[in-house]
Amino acid sequence: MAGSAASNVTDDAAAEAVVRLQAVTKRYRNGVLALGPFDLTVKRGEFVALVGPSGCGKSTALRLVAGLAEPSSGTVRIASRRARSGSGHAIGVVFQEPTLMPWASVRGNVGLPLKLSHVPRAEIEPRVMAVLAQVGLRDFAGAMPRELSGGMKMRAALARALVTDPDILLLDEPFAALDEITRFRLNNDLLMLWRELGKTVIFVTHSVYESVYLAQRVLVMTPRPGKIADEFGINAAEPRGEAFRMTADYAAHCRVVAEALARTADPTEGR
């Protein structure tokens, strides 16, 4: 589901850091300490990937950034120009499940956040069509979700997250359920959108390969309670494309990140 959050938005116009989590912990009501202490700073326009073992708190971290959950301690700060000016939302979110309303067309699904924000009806159609063109779904505005492939559903979910023109895009394993060819294609389209739109992106994935392909910075988390164990800058030639997957540079980055992930899962490894 696409979401938006402005409750934790600060007024810090000049801040280069758009997302800043400091000493954040999250304990759920059942007593599970999911996260922390967790520190994360993401700069404007950065593409950051979070990788970590299953259950380490990646989704929890994203939900805290989105304002969909409150930290138990620590601070979550979001600096958003859009939310401050009232011209849009701070954050768009895409989850692994596209969660489209089955009874509404692609147009209806993508336009929903605008409708909920009381955007005038005359403005909604052109904005929906513009964002559908960006994600390659212009010809499917009238289609129902059941008529779409998995990749197309995800494109619609992406369009719904982008339609409010958020500063920050949060993606929680959005392509995990897709076949490899579709995933690779969506990876490339996401990179193109990121370059064109200049969004700040935080991308959660299980896949070391996907994280290295997409991100400028890969953060490796420890098992629960999740903390940042390691951080790697992926200094590849831009713009990245399929050829990058075949380079020795890509393989070397993947190896380093995979080793870090193995170390956090089993700290005795490599000793």
Residue 59 found at the interface with ligand ATP (CB under 6 A) = yes
Which residue's CB is nearer to ligand ATP, number 4 or number 60?
60
Q: Residue from 7, 13, 16, 55 that binds ligand ATP (CB under 6 A)?
A: 55
Residue 62 CA, chain-centre distance (Å), reads: 8
Q: Residue from 36, 57, 92, 145 that binds ligand ATP (CB under 6 A)?
A: 57
Strand partners, 230: 220
Q: Which range, of 58-66, 123-131, 143-151, 228-236, touches ligand ATP by CB under 6 A?
A: 58-66
Which residue's CB is nearer to ligand ATP, number 97 or number 249?
97
CB of residue 217 to ligand ATP, shortest distance in Å = 18
Whole-angstrom CA distances from 271 to 21, 232, 259, 268 are: 31, 21, 12, 6
Which residue's CB is nearer to ligand ATP, number 28 or number 255?
28
Alpha helices in 41-80 (DSSP H): 58-66
Residue 60 found at the interface with ligand ATP (CB under 6 A) = yes
Which residue's CB is nearer to ligand ATP, number 83 or number 221?
221
CB of residue 52 to ligand ATP, shortest distance in Å = 6
Q: Rounded to whole angstroms, how far apart are CA atoms 14 and 221?
A: 29
Residue 70 found at the interface with ligand ATP (CB under 6 A) = no
User: Residues of 80-99 as b/e, b for ≥16 C-beta within 10 angstroms?
Assistant: bebbbeeebbbbbbbbbebe
Q: Are 64 and 18 in contact (CB under 8 A)?
A: no
CB of residue 145 to ligand ATP, shortest distance in Å = 23
Report the site for ligand ATP in 189-228 (rule: CB under 6 A): 206, 224
**Three-class SS of residue 251?**
helix
CB of residue 47 to ligand ATP, shortest distance in Å = 19
Q: Are 13 and 85 in contact (CB under 8 A)?
A: no
Q: Which range, of 12-20, 55-63, 239-247, 254-262, touches ligand ATP by CB under 6 A?
A: 55-63
Report the site for ligand ATP in 25-54 (rule: CB under 6 A): 28, 30, 32, 34, 52, 54
Q: Token pair of 70, please?
A: 């409150």
Residue 35 CA, chain-centre distance (Å), reads: 18
Which of 50, 77, 81 lies closest to 64, judged by CA?
Answer: 77
Q: Rounded to whole angstroms, how far apart are CA atoms 156 and 57?
A: 26
The residue count for binding ligand ATP (CB under 6 A) is 14
Which residue's CB is nearer to ligand ATP, number 56 or number 83?
56
| Number of other CB atoms surrounding residue 128 within 10 Å | 22
Binding site for ligand ATP (CB under 6 A): 28, 30, 32, 34, 52, 54-60, 206, 224
